[in-house]
Amino acid sequence: MDAQDNITQLLHKAHAGDGQALDALLPQIYQRLRELARRQLGRESGAHTLSATALVHETFLNLLGEGRLQFSDREHFFAYAVTAMRHALIDRARRNTTRRRHAALHVDDDISADGALELAALEQAFARLAALDPRLARIADLRLAAGLSSTEIGNLLGVTDRTVEREWNKARAFLSACLGSGDHVQ
């Protein structure tokens, strides 16, 4: 059994309430979650008040608290975790922006509000893409947020690498147009 299959089986057992499976699962997914958290934090402009480790812990505790450990395989788990991380960062940025407004601090503090605006704009662009074409949004999310390759995305969605590449190009063009420039989406 390879590591991917083992993670999938541990996810299924943990969802069923097996505490030992949960204990065995965390060391196997922790490093990948930290990589994904660093990637998410790297996309955020401005000062970070949250470390990759803290983001992983917050996300994992939220997943446990919501009982969201039922995933068909590890790709689904990581894709969901990345979305949860992005939402946590957006919520944190909004809370910080609101706090700054209420505290009536110096105008210079608006610089870090730019990161919140960029995250909110990206989230809105993803929402618009999802409304237009959910599969394009899924491919973009798996590519950008989860860092999956075309082959991994194709396996996950049951399509060819070529289809993933073609649809990724469409999604990237749409997101870039929503964000106002072709330079935003790599």
The amino acid occupying position 166 is R
For residue 178, is pLDDT > 80? yes
Q: Which of 6-10, 72-76, 105-109, 148-152 has the lowest mean pLDDT?
A: 105-109
pLDDT digit string (tens) for 115-124? 556 777 778 8
* CA pseudo-torsion sign 87, 88, 91, 97: negative
Percent of the chain past pLDDT 90, that is, above it, reads 10
In which band, very low, low, confident or very high, does the pLDDT at 160 lie, cut at 50, 70 and 90?
A: very high
Q: Can you tell me the distance from the alpha carbon of 60 to that of 62, in angstroms, rounded to the nearest whole number?
A: 5
Q: Can you tell me the distance from the alpha carbon of 31 to that of 23, in angstroms, rounded to the nearest whole number?
A: 15
For residue 185, is pLDDT > 70? no
Q: Can you tell me the distance from the alpha carbon of 153 to that of 184, in angstroms, rounded to the nearest whole number?
A: 22
In which band, very low, low, confident or very high, does the pLDDT at 12 lie, cut at 50, 70 and 90?
A: confident
- The two tokens of residue 16 are 């069923």
Q: Can you tell me the distance from the alpha carbon of 162 to that of 81, in angstroms, rounded to the nearest whole number?
A: 26
Comparing 147 with 101, the larger pLDDT belongs to: 147
- The two tokens of residue 111 are 């610089």
In which band, very low, low, confident or very high, does the pLDDT at 13 lie, cut at 50, 70 and 90?
A: confident
In which band, very low, low, confident or very high, does the pLDDT at 48 lie, cut at 50, 70 and 90?
A: low
| pLDDT at position 51 | 84
Mean pLDDT on 126-130? 88
Q: Supply the pTM of this predicted model.
A: 0.58
Q: Can you tell me the distance from the alpha carbon of 84 to that of 62, in angstroms, rounded to the nearest whole number?
A: 8
- With a CB cutoff of 8 Å and minimum separation 6, the contacts of 137 are 126, 129, 130, 171
The number of CA neighbours under 13 Å toward the Cβ of 186 is 4
Q: Are 176 and 182 in contact (CB under 8 A)?
A: yes
Mean pLDDT on 83-89? 81
Q: Count other C-beta atoms under 10 Å from residue 115's C-beta.
A: 19
Mean pLDDT on 22-28? 86
Q: Can you tell me the distance from the alpha carbon of 22 to that of 18, in angstroms, rounded to the nearest whole number?
A: 7
